[in-house]
Amino acid sequence: MNNKTILITGASSGIGEAIAKKFAAEGNKLILNGRNQEKIYALKKELEKSYNTSIHTIIFDVRDFDAAEKAIKELPDNFKDISVLVNNAGLALGVDKEFEGNMSDYETMIDTNIKALLKMTLLVVPGMIQRQEGHVINIGSIAGEKAYPGGSVYCATKAAVKALSDGLRMDLYDTPIRVTNLKPGLVETNFSVIRYHGNKQKADNVYRDIKPLTGKDIAEVAYFVASAPAHVQISEVEILATHQASAQMVWRG
């Protein structure tokens, strides 16, 4: 697919950045969202220099629902027709037991992983229905399939992403709009650094003695599902490193 308008939340790094690069390389226009203005502007400059593409940036924290609504309403005319919404912004914070964790961390995960995804869906999908064309790609996780110790709230948020994806697909079954839930396993980005509140040593240990997935791997899958023929809806894709069998089963040979 090319010459489409792709909106990506959380595009300043990791999976979001990789998805932006892949869709730009294939000749699509991008709307890049992120909190870090410097990183988003640097990515915009890089992509416009490397590829024949147009980039529009919308700088806000996805938890700021008023800012999100304002940004979508004020999109330039040549960016209003969004063909693909990639709800990528998300995070995990902490590995505490559920009864020992930090409520602020819990609220941040819920607001970012669930409520912000829902808000972007509310803002973008009605336009897709009006145009009878579109695709919503939600970045979920294998954590949404089964909880694991130290991750109950994060797992709950990703279970919600699965439920929201399934429910949206049902709500749209009489339209041409498609919905896909991508569920990665171990992906080496700054995800674990954020989860461990900046402790790089603990973050690096997550990927010890295994070749994890990269943001580029997830971007390739995102592009694949988006470029499938119009009559093909790939509802879910679970993506694991070769030596990972589940959230807890990792062979570190």
Q: b/e map of 18-56 (b: 16 or more CB within 10 Å)?
A: bbbbbbbbbebbbbbbbeeeebbbebbeebeeebebbbb
Which residue is catalytic, options 22, 44, 154, 223? 154
DSSP for 13-61, written as a single string: SHHHHHHHHHHHHTT-EEEEEES-HHHHHHHHHHHHHHSS--EEEEE--
Rg of the Cα trace of the chain? 17
Q: Which of 92, 88, 90 is nearest to 151 (CA)?
A: 92
Question: What letter does residue 175 receive in the DSSP assignment?
Answer: S
Instruction: Yes or no: say if 129 and 56 are a contact pair by the CB < 8 Å rule.
Output: no
Q: b/e map of 220-231 (b: 16 or more CB within 10 Å)?
A: ebbbebbeeeee
| Dihedral pair phi/psi, residue 157, rounded to 5° | -65, -35
CB atoms under 10 Å from CB of 132, counted, come to 9
Active site residue 173: no
Token look-up 């970045």 returns 139
Which residue is catalytic, options 44, 158, 162, 183? 158
Active site residue 154: yes
CA 97 to chain centroid, in Å, comes to 26
Residues recognised as catalytic? 154, 158
